[in-house]
Structure 1
Amino acid sequence: MPSACDPDLSGVDPLKLTEIRRRVAVVRSYLRIAEPDEGDRAEHASKLDLSINQFLALVRAWSLQEKASALSGSGASKGAPRPKGRRNLPVASKTAAQEVIAAADANASLIEIVDRVAERCGKLGVATPSRSTIWNMLMEARRASPGTDNHATVISRCHVKLPVQKARHLVYPDLTLAVSEANGEIIFASLGDHDLDADKLTEALKDGLLTGPFKIDSEIAASLQLPEMVDFQAMKATAARTATARILGRGIGSLDLIYHRSRSREPHELLRSKKDAPLSSEDAFHIIVEQIDAHNAARNMKKAIIPGRD
């Protein structure tokens, strides 16, 4: 986790963390000089391969906010249009989304419904609701439908689309999730080796922190010491991942999830700029936990059980 002296890195593109930390360190070093002269400015600018004017712009941006996302090169979006949430959603947009949801098959995934809503709103010439707004509307509709009282908790594995440095290799982090079909809440999440994940998950089940019935990836179920009273259905790993994808869609917050590793690009292919760098395991953990918390908060749900969080 970040230390007390770590800058506020919220909003920074994960692949820019290394470069932005370097920029903040150089700017802080410069600001510690009581009366910097031209030589000091040139020296510090050269450390970042910037001109003096570019470096001073960086110093001004940091001095105003002391926020890493304000620095050039952070990859933070600037002035992006505000997504259409429910409070500022035009009636025509809301009606279009509701009609698409009502007409959709019960097994339609979030991705499919979002695409259909976007297509419908495009034809009508009205604003498209944000993905989270469509998700909330979908969950409300499914909860109100008959026969939806017994939604299960789906337990499966996927990967997070973040390149992480492990020894001499780049990998995508493994993520074990327990997700509610009823409302999309992420109840449990664990990053680590599979044996350790199984121990943590077994402990949570035995302590009653997760409630059934459950649909569990058969590979995970085989490694769990399940109490006899646990009501569960073992599923093929692919079926469990597909069920999770139907609930979560493309990802969690700003992070994309990989449900089928063989179909994804290699981690090194995400590093497109010389300023991009893979994440440490610690940074990846912090970012993933942050986005899981944001996912649940957007649905008015409590924080997920995540072993290893502070």
Structure 2
Amino acid sequence: MTDATPADGGFAASAANDDMDMTGVNPLRLNEVRRRVSVVRDYIALRAPTDQDRIDHAAALGLSVNQFLALVRAWREHGKAVAISGAGAAKGVPRPKSARNLPSASKAAAAAVIAKLGPDVSLVETVRHVKQRCGTLRVATPSRSTIWNMVMADRRTRGANGREGIVVSRCQVRLPVETDDGVAFPTLAMAVDLKTGAILAAAMGDDAATASTIVDGLECRVAGGAVLVDADLAGPIRRRSEVEFTSMKPSAARTHTARTLGRGFGSLELIFQPSRAIAPADMLRSIKDAPLSPEDARRLIGEQIGVHNAARGAASAVLSWAT
């Protein structure tokens, strides 16, 4: 490590920020928020800051003096990173149309139909039933994409489809992460309880480590019903466990996971069809956005799995971040 002067004017993010509670902070702004905290703490540590100190510290963050002092006040009042995190990555980007833009009667009608049909009904059938219901009530029918978004939101919130069993699949997490080969979405293997929506085990890493983690989750929690396994993981799992399971195409396993979790878990979204996803680097829309480090990504994914399971009254998942 060198002693070169940081590009921000001398106020580098301190190691003390590494253990800071980043709850509520946009993941793409973790580095920026750590830098803000470091500069604000440096300023507050001054016994008698001068006008020049205020100018220098504000300039280090690319802010006006008034903007910087507003951060200082927010930090002093709340002492939390989220208090000075500022706008998210999508500032200035038009919000997509969604159920929030629908008339309340249309939204209520579609939501009632979706809840009644359950997660195993196809989108085509769901759209048909929603159109029929909205036509009967003489209210506007949501678009196909809006209905699909409502279906996925319902699955994510309800987190259960009433069927006994477990599905093991691999999905990508919609988080741009810095790797040796550039910015990429991390791949996560999961064992998910089809009935409750709880995540039993999750792992990132090579097939051997991933399989061992998934097996730990399966052997601790299998209570009945079919165990469905992504064919790419079937061999490694079979070599480590006597749990009986049905191997299926990776796409089919992801479909079962999507029907149970919806778009994802906690605050994180999953990518079930990688070929249709945007490029990871395209998520960085602001000059202050930055890809996550592998360590930050693992920490965030683990935290959000915990949030997801806690909301379902489920035990902690078996986790492995082997590389």
Q: Do both proteins adopt the same fold according to a TM-score greater than 0.5, normalized to the shorter chain?
A: yes
Q: Residue 93 of structure 2 corresponds to which residue in structure 1?
A: none
- Answering whether residue 263 of structure 2 is matched by residue 250 of structure 1, we say yes
Q: What amino acid is aligned across from residue 165 of structure 1 in structure 2?
A: E
- Which of 56, 66, 81 in structure 2 is aligned with 1:68? 81
Contact kept, 8 Å, 2:191 with 2:202, in 1: the verdict is yes
Structure 1 residues 138-193: Cα deviation after superposition (integer angstroms, max 9, x where no partner) = 667x54xxxx4xx2100000000101011251111110010111111111111223
Structure 1 residue 56 displacement after superposition = 0.6
Q: What amino acid is aligned across from residue 257 of structure 1 in structure 2?
A: L
Question: What is the DSSP-based 3-state SS (H/G/I as helix, E as strand, rest coil) of the residue aligned with 2:19?
Answer: coil
CA–CA separation in structure 1 for the residues paired with 2:247 and 2:263: 24
Structure 1 residues 87-133: Cα deviation after superposition (integer angstroms, max 9, x where no partner) = xxx9x988974554324574447xx69x959x9699499xxxx9899
Q: Residue 85 of structure 1 corresponds to which residue in structure 2?
A: none
Structure 1 residue 7 displacement after superposition = 2.7
- Cα distance change, pair 3–174 in 1 and its aligned pair in 2 (3 A): farther
- Answering whether residue 122 of structure 2 is matched by residue 101 of structure 1, we say no
Question: What is the DSSP-based 3-state SS (H/G/I as helix, E as strand, rest coil) of the residue aligned with 2:246?
Answer: strand
Q: What amino acid is aligned across from residue 78 of structure 2 in structure 1?
A: Q
Q: Residue 83 of structure 1 corresponds to which residue in structure 2?
A: none
Structure 1 residue 303 displacement after superposition = 1.8
Q: Residue 190 of structure 1 corresponds to which residue in structure 2?
A: 203
CA–CA separation in structure 2 for the residues paired with 1:93 and 1:214: 36
CA–CA separation in structure 2 for the residues paired with 1:70 and 1:108: 42
- Worse overlay, 247-256 or 12-21: 247-256
Q: Which runs of 5+ in 1 are unaligned?
A: 78-89
- Answering whether residue 249 of structure 2 is matched by residue 233 of structure 1, we say no
Q: Residue 52 of structure 1 corresponds to which residue in structure 2?
A: 65
Q: What amino acid is aligned across from residue 153 of structure 1 in structure 2?
A: I
CA–CA separation in structure 2 for the residues paired with 1:17 and 1:122: 47
TM-score (norm 2): 0.75
CA–CA separation in structure 2 for the residues paired with 1:103 and 1:137: 15
Structure 1 residues 250-309: Cα deviation after superposition (integer angstroms, max 9, x where no partner) = 111221111121221111111111100000011101111111111112222222121359
CA–CA separation in structure 2 for the residues paired with 1:138 and 1:275: 35
Matches of residues 12-161 of structure 1 in structure 2 within 5 Å? 12-73=25-86, 75=88, 97-104=111-118, 106-108=120-122, 123=139, 134-135=154-155, 143=162, 148=163, 151-161=164-174
CA–CA separation in structure 2 for the residues paired with 1:34 and 1:116: 65
CA–CA separation in structure 2 for the residues paired with 1:96 and 1:281: 40
Contact kept, 8 Å, 2:213 with 2:318, in 1: the verdict is no
Structure 1 residue 136 displacement after superposition = 8.3
Q: What amino acid is aligned across from residue 156 of structure 1 in structure 2?
A: S
CA–CA separation in structure 2 for the residues paired with 1:221 and 1:31: 56
Question: What is the DSSP-based 3-state SS (H/G/I as helix, E as strand, rest coil) of the residue aligned with 1:238?
Answer: helix
Q: Residue 175 of structure 2 corresponds to which residue in structure 1?
A: 162
Structure 1 residues 177-233: Cα deviation after superposition (integer angstroms, max 9, x where no partner) = 10111111111111223332123223444x5344453100111011222433x2211
Contact kept, 8 Å, 1:185 with 1:299, in 2: the verdict is yes
CA–CA separation in structure 2 for the residues paired with 1:136 and 1:251: 7
TM-score (norm 1): 0.78
Q: What amino acid is aligned across from residue 221 of structure 1 in structure 2?
A: A
Matches of residues 284-303 of structure 1 in structure 2 within 5 Å? 284-303=297-316
Contact kept, 8 Å, 1:158 with 1:259, in 2: the verdict is yes
Instruction: Give me the identity figure in percent.
Output: 40
Q: Residue 188 of structure 2 corresponds to which residue in structure 1?
A: 175
